[in-house]
Amino acid sequence: MNLSAPVKISISNLLASKLRSFLTILGIIIGVAAVMIIFAVGRSAEDLIVSQLQGIGSNLIAVLPGESDQNGPPAIAFGIVVKTLTYEDLEALRKPQNVRGVEAAAGYYTGTEEVRYKDFSRSISATGVTANYIEVENAEIEKGRFFKEHEERDLSKIVTLGSEIANEIFGSKDPIGEKIKIGDQKMTIVGVLSPRSAGGFGSGGQDTGVFLPLKTAQKLVFAVDHLFAIRLKVKDHALIKEAKQDITQTLLDRHNLEPGEEDFSVRDLGSAIDLIKNVTTIIRYFLLVAGSISLLVGGVGIMNIMLIAVNQRIKEVGLRKALGAKNADIQAQFLIESATVALIGGLFGIIFGSIAIVLAFLVINALDYDWPFIISIGSILVSVLVSLLVGLLFGLYPAYKASRISPMEALRYE
């Protein structure tokens, strides 16, 4: 069968009624564009999050208070306050004889407190950390210094600022040596941290926070004895499994618990990355299904316009059958026409989807996010195939109806 003739007929019919044709293929355009955008943005967001987490280091282990299923979030993620981790637990985990391969360990306690300086006053995330936070988090100092271990033990009233909050409070002024109030405690600024990375996920907590010695935060600011978390850095990623086993056993012994009675959770960054990938993949496919609904709407529009075409071309179909055309020939003609309509919509959808992805890339990168540009050949091919499939599926009934027209019916048609 000559494919060019049905394609030309289909395009002629579209041009004969431009508004109706535009509304017919609009659903296909929106559906294909939505699928492309969701796929590209979902992949870009996942790659950005994962790359930022990997930048922190793949050899980190987090210990959180409260037990949890290994495949689910810890209790602390639901806002539940759990007080099972202490500074003494941190000290025990720091010892190489307790945890194989441990290179450094840091304790954390985070809360929100009022920070004041002259006319500036705002509630800000204040984090008490141990002196080796810099080593564990691969953080860098932009100005001044970080505090030392003896200052942590001595409850020194000093603070290091994140880069964004330092700029917000002091602007171009050098903050080193200035005093700010955190709660009712006056603290001397000794350093400013370098930006974590331009707009990166996970950078905001460091860039917009204030950091003070852990014991100072616990005793003078928040009046607590427990830890929010412990992070350990091991010498090599290959030692993660053994280190997690050692951490679990050490804490079980310290808390006088048996295996299965854990009041803590031990997670490594690799597991967190896998969990994030699983979650983002599920969300992406859910959104893809939602975006595909407009393809179904477009398919209904194609069926409608093809049924109209069948009624308008009864004489033509009857004449062709009188001249020897078979039912299969008539069906093929109408299926090719409906597929052509869908393909045209799909091609425009790919164009508009690509433009939207490029604009998203430019805008998000202009906001200082290292947003990867992703338009895969696979997604374009899938869009084309899905468009054709929608055209064929929703063209089946009109094609069947056209093939049932008899020459006698065509002769009676006025």
Tens of pLDDT along the chain (414 residues) come to 555 666 676 667 667 667 777 777 788 888 888 888 887 877 777 777 766 665 555 688 889 888 765 555 555 555 556 788 999 999 999 998 999 888 889 999 999 999 999 999 999 999 999 999 999 888 899 999 999 989 988 999 999 999 999 999 999 899 999 999 999 999 999 999 998 754 433 444 788 899 999 999 999 999 999 999 999 988 877 788 899 999 999 999 999 988 888 888 888 876 666 667 777 777 777 777 776 777 787 888 888 888 887 787 777 777 777 777 788 878 888 888 888 888 888 889 889 988 988 898 888 888 777 777 877 787 788 788 888 888 888 888 888 888 887 777 666 655
CA pair distance 126, 123, nearest whole angstrom: 9
Among residues 126, 112, 115, the alpha carbon closest in space to that of 180 is found at 115
CA pair distance 99, 151, nearest whole angstrom: 26
What's residue 402's pLDDT? 80
Of 230, 248, 271, at which residue does a domain stop?
Answer: 230
Query: Is there a contact between 306 and 334 (Cβ–Cβ < 8 Å)?
Result: yes
What's residue 198's pLDDT? 42
298 in a structural domain = yes
Pair 87, 225 in one domain = yes
Give the other-Cβ count within 10 Å of 224's Cβ: 15
CA pair distance 78, 58, nearest whole angstrom: 25
What's residue 54's pLDDT? 58
Tokens read off for 370: 């290292």
Give the number of domains in the chain. Answer: 2
The residue range of the domain holding 337 is: 4-53+288-412
Query: Is there a contact between 24 and 346 (Cβ–Cβ < 8 Å)?
Result: no
What's residue 2's pLDDT? 57
Pair 14, 151 in one domain = no
Pair 87, 153 in one domain = yes
What's residue 381's pLDDT? 82
Residue 115, helix vs strand vs coil: strand
Pair 297, 354 in one domain = yes
238 in a structural domain = no
272 in a structural domain = no
What's residue 403's pLDDT? 80
Pair 10, 92 in one domain = no
Query: Is there a contact between 154 and 131 (Cβ–Cβ < 8 Å)?
Result: no
Q: Strands of 146-193 (E only): list them.
A: 158-161, 179-182, 185-193
Those residues with Cβ within 8 angstroms of residue 139's Cβ, 6 or more apart along the chain or in another chain:
133, 193, 194, 196, 206
Pair 16, 121 in one domain = no
Pair 47, 88 in one domain = no
Pair 87, 49 in one domain = no
Q: Strands of 1-101 (E only): list them.
A: 60-65
251 in a structural domain = no
What's residue 109's pLDDT? 94
pTM to 2 decimal places: 0.56
Of 205, 230, 255, at which residue does a domain stop?
Answer: 230
Pair 96, 191 in one domain = yes
Query: Is there a contact between 298 and 30 (Cβ–Cβ < 8 Å)?
Result: yes
Of 188, 207, 230, at which residue does a domain stop?
Answer: 230
Among residues 126, 186, 187, 137, the alpha carbon closest in space to that of 162 is found at 126
Query: Is there a contact between 258 and 100 (Cβ–Cβ < 8 Å)?
Result: no
315 in a structural domain = yes
Pair 182, 296 in one domain = no
Burial pattern 79-104, b for ≥16 Cβ within 10 A else e, equals: eeebebbbbebbebbbeeebbebbbb
What's residue 413's pLDDT? 56
Among residues 277, 276, 290, 310, the alpha carbon closest in space to that of 413 is found at 310
Those residues with Cβ within 8 angstroms of residue 376's Cβ, 6 or more apart along the chain or in another chain:
39, 40, 43
What's residue 203's pLDDT? 40
Pair 397, 315 in one domain = yes
Pair 87, 183 in one domain = yes
63 in a structural domain = no
